[in-house]
Amino acid sequence: MDVLLNRQILADGEGLILKEYVLSLKPTSDKTALPLDEKFFFIPEITQHPVGIALEHMTLEMGQLCRLFVVEKHLNEKGWSK
């Protein structure tokens, strides 16, 4: 599976950041579909301080894209916001 960070949105004054990732199956994959679970993405490469994770689809199919949304606490230069 390929995981690409698409964008990040900082909620000013809330101490939160939203990360949007785009998921896709690698063209060389031997699978045509892959069941997904939010628990798969609670890893340091995706999030350090998670508040919540949501998937657009629960199955990733070959040739299709799926968005992964991660909300996490935001650490600024002064420390934790709020």
What are the tokens at 2?
A: 């390929």
Q: What is the average pLDDT score of the chain?
A: 92
26-56 pLDDT, tens digit each: 999 999 999 999 999 999 999 999 999 999 9
Burial class (CB in 10 A: 0-12, 13-18, 19+), 23: buried
Residue type, 75: L
Supply the pTM of this predicted model.
0.88
Q: Which domain holds residue 54?
A: 2-80
Q: What is the pLDDT of residue 13?
A: 83
The average pLDDT across 63-72 equals 97
pLDDT at site 82: 52
Residue 34's beta-bridge partner residues?
A: 60
Residue 79 in this model has a pLDDT that exceeds 80: no
Domain count, the chain: 1
